[in-house]
Amino acid sequence: MSFIKGLRCRECGRDFPAKALFVCEYCFGSLEVDYDYPAIQARLTRELIQSRPPNIWRYRELLPIDGNPTVGFHTGMTPFFRAERLAHALGVKELYLKDDSVCCPTLSFKDRVVSVALSRARELGFDTVACASTGNLANAVSALSAQAGFKRFIFIPADLEAGKVVGSLIFQPRLVAVEGNYDEVNRLCAEIATRYRWAFVNINIRPYYAEGSKTYGFEVAEQMGWKAPRHIVVPAASGSLLVKIWKGFKELHRLGLIEKPQTRLYAAQAEGCSPIVTAIEEGSDIIKPVKPKTIAKSLAIGNPADGYYAADAIRETGGGGAAVSDSEIVEGIKLLGRTEGVFTETAGGVTVAATRRLIEEKRIPRDEPIVVCITGHGLKTQEAVVDSIGRPIRIKPTLDSFEEQVKDKTGGQ
Ligand SMILES: *Cc1c(COP(=O)(O)O)cnc(C)c1O
Ligand SMILES: [Zn+2]
């Protein structure tokens, strides 16, 4: 049973059929999925959601497919927990982590969007899928398209981290490393998409793909006991995750599943690629494209597709943003590891460091609850930290060597 009404232009509001379309042919605005909310409301309850298996499809009425999902049966319902030791380190009362570093199957939140995109691509009759990726998307499309049995072409910038390259190749897609940055990869893919009938998950079926990010927000609300958080810090590349978390909260409210959200949204970006944070700080409606230069490659989108809408949502909620340096990112990764036992990739370092900055600058009050979005796993970006975490203490296999090199030197601890 389908609750999709169609696609609607985000700019002029014109309606389109729910096909593989992504731009409005009248005004070139981007298209968004529209649902039959009264029909969903008549059916969807907290109890129904909670009775379903712990994956993204427990919210299926609010996801853009007509029939049954094809992939993603282990994706989602990732840990959400109070982080007391990190809260203490940051000097705040109440802090929570939503931890998609352990999202299945490829350890980033991109598994959510890809599960939705591929399930929809199958319904739209595609046999080949593709993507332009900063790394995590490549991993997710590679793995989930293997599970779903699609032919696949994955495009990445040639300078990606080894973990992200191996994490795609292992699933044996056609992996194409383009000599250029993400924005150039994306431009090339937009051209390829006009020539071949492939489902480019983040280009020609982007309206469906992007809806998958709502599940991150749905889960946060459900795991908080059916309410939206007061403050939420979200890493931003294209800005889509941030926009869709907000859409997710608003949908839950519209359906009577949560009270009106009093949420403030904050974008976390790297100094070397912060077009969204810059626009917010300048109070500008225009996102000025930049040439990225940062270790946070998963967030290195200089011309963010949803930048305008992200800045708009942030303004609407009275939130803000922070851009952090590469060394702050490394410190953020280490702080999270040492206080919470969570190993995040560079994007998580950006989020933790941005949270710290927003607290220090009193833009997030110390006595109000804060949710920090961790979106990817650290084993994928080891290059970023390997030189700043020390080395093992090397010893001979003898008790003497142990006592001399370890016990005596570390004060018996
Ligand atoms: C892609 C990505 C993001 C940001 O996604 P957008 O929706 O493009 O803003 C955040 N974190 C990680 C780890 C990612 O891979
Ligand atoms: Zn339009």
> Closest ligand 1 atom, CA of 240?
7
Averaged pLDDT for residues 295-311: 96
Task: Give the whole-angstrom CA distance, residue 42 versus residue 55.
Answer: 22
Closest CA to 336 of 233, 221, 263: 233
Query: Residues 89-114: pLDDT tens digits?
Result: 999 999 999 999 999 999 999 999 99
Q: Is 348 near ligand 1, meaning CB less than 6 Å away?
A: no
Question: Average pLDDT, stretch 57-78?
Answer: 97
Q: Which two tokens stand for residue 50?
A: 């909670």
Amino acid at 295: I
Ligand 1 neighbour 347 (Cβ under 6 A): yes
- Cα–Cα distance measured from residue 379 to residue 136, given in angstroms and rounded to the nearest whole number: 12
The answer to whether residues 315 and 323 touch, using CB atoms and an 8 Å cutoff, is no
Probe target for ligand 1 pocket from 99, 103, 110, with the most ligand atoms within 8 Å of CB: 110
- For residue 408, pLDDT over 90 is answered with no
Any idea which fold 80-106+212-384 has?
Answer: Rossmann fold (3.40.50)
Q: What is the pLDDT of residues 125-182, one digit of tens each?
A: 999 999 999 999 999 999 999 999 999 999 999 999 999 999 999 999 999 999 999 9
Pocket of ligand 1 contains residue 237 by CB under 6 Å: yes
Asked if 291 and 345 touch (Cβ cutoff 8 Å), the reply is no
Instruction: For residue 149, report the phi and psi dihedrals to the nearest 5 degrees.
Output: 75, 40
From the CA of 136, which ligand is nearest? 1
Tokens 């600058």 correspond to 361
pLDDT reported for residue 362: 97
Instruction: Looking at the CA of residue 137, tell me the nearest atom of ligand 1.
Output: 15
Provide the b/e sequence for 256-279 (b: ≥16 CB within 10 Å): ebbeebebbbbbbbbbbbbbbbbb
pLDDT of residue 285: 87
Decide whether any atom of ligand 1 lies within 6 Å of the 142 Cβ. Answer: no
| Continuous segment of H or E residues that includes residue 388 | none
If you average pLDDT over residues 6-31, what whole number do you get?
Answer: 96
Q: What is the pLDDT of residue 349?
A: 98
What's the pLDDT at 413?
53
Closest ligand 1 atom, CA of 113? 7
Across the chain, mean pLDDT equals 96
Ligand 1: residue of 139, 209, 241 to mutate (most ligand atoms within 8 A of CB) is 241
Ligand 2 ion: Cβ-proximal residues, 5 Å cutoff:
9, 11-12, 24, 26-27, 29
Q: What is the pLDDT of residues 213-270, one digit of tens each?
A: 999 999 999 999 999 999 999 999 999 999 999 999 999 999 999 999 999 999 999 9
Query: For residue 198, how far is its CA from the centre of ligand 1 (angstroms)?
Result: 23
pLDDT over 80 (residue 411): no
The DSSP string of 344-386 is: B-HHHHHHHHHHHHHHHTTSS-TTS-EEEEE-BBGGGGGGGTG
* 317-341 pLDDT tens trace: 999 999 999 999 999 999 999 999 9
Average pLDDT over residues 297-324: 97
Q: Per-residue confidence at 407, pLDDT binned at 50, 70, 90? A: confident
- Choosing from 108, 133, 265 the residue with most ligand 1 atoms within 8 A of its CB, the one to mutate for a pocket test is 108
Tell me the pLDDT band of 115, cut-offs 50, 70 and 90: very high
The DSSP secondary structure of 12-81, one letter per residue, reads T--EE-SSS--B-TTT-PBEEEEE-HHHHHHH--HHHHHTS-SSGGGGGGGSS-SS---S-TT-----EE
What residues contact 125, with CB distance under 8 A and at least 6 apart? none
List the residue whose alpha carbon is closest to atom 8 of ligand 1.
Answer: 238
Q: Rounded to whole angstroms, how far apart are CA atoms 195 and 96?
A: 45
| Residue to mutate, 232, 298, 351, ligand 1, most ligand atoms under 8 Å from C-beta | 298
Are the CB atoms for 196 and 151 separated by under 8 Å? Answer: no
Give the atom of ligand 1 at the shortest distance from the alpha carbon of 235.
Answer: 10
Q: Per this entry, what is the length of the chain?
A: 413
Indicate whether residue 108 lines ligand 1 (CB < 6 A).
Answer: yes
Q: 269: part of which helix (H) or strand (E)?
A: strand 264-270
